[in-house]
Amino acid sequence: MSEWLVLTLAILATCAIVLLAAVVRQRRVGEEDDPSETPDVIEYMTMMIGVVYAIVLGLAIAGVWEARGEADEWVRMEAQALHEMDVRAEVFPAETRDLIQADIAAYVGYAVDEEWSHMVDHGELTERGDELLTQLRTTVMAPEPGTVREVQAYQGLVDQVALVDEARSGRGDSAQSTMPGVVWVGLIAGAAVTLGMVFALQIQRSRRELVLAGLFSALITFLLFLIWYFDDPFAHGLGDSTEAYMSFFPQFADGG
């Protein structure tokens, strides 16, 4: 099911529940209910709850957005380091160069075609990916540099392997959910309390008040959806999360 379809259904369901509750409540209390009799303390509490919940939502959105940016940066760093290794390998003799580039291609191909789906589904990296990175490191450190250019390229390759390892670990950490379960409980409970306080203000069945109640509930639902959407950056990213690899290794763009 499309994420945007989920959002639409969630907004419609929330608005329907809030509006139905408002209509049913008004029918039960009848015309004798006077909103002007709402105690000032309830209005103050409603305002404070709304402000506090808005701050919590803002912090949650900022947190998942920052985590998404970090996930994108780890992927870009890993792809950039692999590309740099692929270029630096040109300095070595053909046999050594081909071995290094073949291991790079094997690692990238596996990461894009197989490991990515496993990472999205299970929130972790694979042992096979670790093995391919170990093989790449072994191949890079095996040759004995014979010229000044090879010595410089060799040191650069060793540094880039370390960078790939660091970026890979960061990518694995970013594959996990950013928001703990207890935070989600608080966000959902806060939404229920915030929407529930609307009825403490004794809203009427006028079109204006019902529209405002519906828009308010739709806004909260949308903000919760944004948090959920960005909480899993590799599964719900705004674009293809493997795009960084494709830009440096276009041969894998079509599963090559």
Find the range with the poorest average confidence among 25-39, 128-142, 182-196: 25-39
Mind listing the pLDDT tens digit for each residue in 144-154?
Answer: 888 888 888 89
Q: What is the mean pLDDT of residues 13-33?
A: 71
- If one compares 38 and 118, the residue with the highest pLDDT of the two is 118
**Mean pLDDT taken over the chain:** 84
Instruction: For residues 143 and 98, give the distance between their C-alpha atoms in angstroms, rounded to a whole number.
Output: 12
Q: What is the mean pLDDT of residues 149-176?
A: 91
Mind listing the pLDDT tens digit for each residue in 179-227?
Answer: 888 889 999 999 988 888 776 666 665 677 778 878 888 899 999 998 9
The pTM (predicted TM-score) of the whole model is 0.78
- pLDDT computed for residue 6 by the predictor: 77
Q: Is the pLDDT of residue 174 over 90?
A: no
